[in-house]
């Protein structure tokens, strides 16, 4: 990238083009300030790095996220910075704590293709249970596709139907919930609550009338009969694209069946102890916020960051083994496109 920028500096535009471009610069050219900040051409004062941080974020997020262009002579578009930026960030379309999907991108010949992505990340999740430590696990960061079969993070699936504005998948994915009762004094006398494997269907629907908005909904059931429950989720997402990165916030709701909630948060009569009464919760409705960041490090490498906040239902919070009414999860990793 440094070599490319140096070549651009040695290749100034003709004076006539610079004058015409200056007259007809559009609002999108403000993204050039974001590029300068990231490249280091504009120095942030060392005396107040954190004080300047919100300004940098505002410049990067609130400027339009399309490629900046100059209007030359009223007809021809040329790149405002004279060159191409790494395609890595804009190839990533969506992701989640269990996987992400890459959108097609144009290669040098203009053909559309879906890049394979493979890397490694760290998954961390706070626990709502009393005195249970934060969970930390290594996870793959992957987006691999062969015909209609795919691997996306921890998801493995098959594309049932795919059109321009929607896609329907069948998939399986691990459910990383539960605890080992022997490792926590506060859960002494409780039975273990084990990880399980979910299987289900997911629909993704683009909303052409709303720029870069799309909805996702899924229905899954426990395949290993650990919790014998089901879960239905619905979320609204939006992509904010930039030459260097992609930010995808989403908001949604999640319904969990009575069997699932009872398995992970209930207390059986055989598990009753002093200060811990039997508890049989009902089905629960949780609400969540998710923020995904994909940062292009070079033409081949990207960094993936995810944070997820889930507000738990009152039936879960009322459990005698639960201390918090929320769960915060996150993923940080690096991956290569090939």
Q: Which of 1-15, 74-88, 230-244, 310-324 is predicted with the least confidence, judged by mean pLDDT?
A: 74-88
Confidence band, pLDDT 50/70/90 cuts, at residue 114: low
Map tokens 């919100």 to a residue: 54
Q: What average pLDDT does this structure show over 153-166?
A: 94
3-state SS, 258-325, equals: HHHHHHHHCECHHHCECCECCECCCCEEEEEEEEEEEEECCCCEEEEEEEEEEECCHHHHCCCCECCC
pLDDT, tens only, 298-319: 989 999 999 999 999 999 999 9
More confident residue, 176 or 171: 171
**CATH 2.40.160.40 in the chain, residues?**
88-337
Q: Which of 27-36, 205-214, 316-325 is predicted with the least confidence, judged by mean pLDDT?
A: 27-36
The Cα–Cα gap between 123 and 195 comes to 15
Q: Are 27 and 64 in contact (CB under 8 A)?
A: yes
H/E stretch holding 123 reads strand 117-125
**Distant-in-sequence, close-in-space partners of 238: CB < 8 Å, separation ≥ 6:** 210, 212, 213, 214, 248, 249, 250
**Domain 88-337, classified CATH 2.40.160.40, yes or no:** yes
Q: Which of 31-40, 99-108, 229-238 has the highest mean pLDDT?
A: 229-238
Tokens of 251: 């908001």
What is the per-residue pLDDT for 175?
96
Q: What average pLDDT does this structure show over 229-243?
A: 95
Map tokens 């102890």 to a residue: 273
Q: What average pLDDT does this structure show over 122-136?
A: 92
pLDDT of 85 higher than 80: no
Q: What average pLDDT does this structure show over 78-106?
A: 37
pLDDT of 65 higher than 70: no
pLDDT of 60 higher than 80: no
**Distant-in-sequence, close-in-space partners of 94: CB < 8 Å, separation ≥ 6:** 100, 101, 204, 214, 216, 237, 239, 248, 292
Q: What average pLDDT does this structure show over 44-73?
A: 40
The per-residue pLDDT of the chain, averaged, comes to: 76
DSSP state of 185: G
């Amino acid at each position: 990238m440094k070599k490319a920028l140096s070549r651009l500096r040695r290749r100034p535009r003709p004076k006539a083009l610079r004058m015409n471009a200056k007259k007809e610069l559009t609002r999108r050219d403000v993204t050039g300030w974001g590029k300068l900040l990231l490249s280091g051409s504009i120095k942030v004062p060392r005396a107040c790095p954190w004080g300047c941080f919100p300004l940098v974020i505002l410049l990067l997020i609130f400027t339009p996220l399309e490629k900046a262009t100059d209007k030359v002579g009223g007809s021809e578009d040329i790149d405002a910075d004279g060159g191409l930026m790494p395609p890595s960030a804009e190839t990533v379309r969506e992701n989640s704590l269990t996987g992400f999907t890459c959108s097609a991108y144009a290669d040098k010949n203009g053909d559309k293709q879906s890049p394979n992505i493979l890397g490694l990340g760290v998954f961390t999740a706070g626990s709502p249970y009393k005195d249970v430590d934060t969970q930390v696990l290594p996870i793959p960061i992957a987006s691999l596709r062969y015909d209609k079969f795919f691997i996306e993070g921890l998801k493995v699936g098959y594309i049932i139907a795919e059109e321009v504005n929607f896609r329907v998948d069948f998939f399986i994915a691990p459910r990383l919930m539960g605890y080992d009762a022997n490792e926590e004094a506060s859960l002494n006398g409780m039975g273990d609550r084990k990880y399980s494997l979910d299987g289900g269907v997911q629909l993704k629907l683009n909303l052409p009338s709303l720029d870069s908005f799309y909805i996702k909904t899924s229905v899954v059931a426990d395949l290993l009969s650990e919790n014998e429950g089901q879960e239905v989720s619905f979320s609204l997402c939006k992509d904010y694209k930039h030459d260097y990165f992609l930010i995808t916030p989403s908001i949604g709701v999640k319904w969990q069946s009575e069997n699932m909630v009872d398995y992970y948060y209930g207390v059986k009569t055989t598990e009753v102890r002093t200060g811990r009464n039997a508890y049989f919760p009902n089905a629960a409705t949780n609400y969540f916020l998710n923020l995904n960041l994909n940062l292009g490090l070079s033409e081949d490498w990207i960094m993936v960051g995810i944070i997820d906040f889930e507000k738990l239902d009152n039936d879960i919070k009322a459990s005698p083994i639960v201390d918090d009414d929320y769960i915060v999860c996150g993923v940080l990793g690096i991956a290569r496109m090939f």
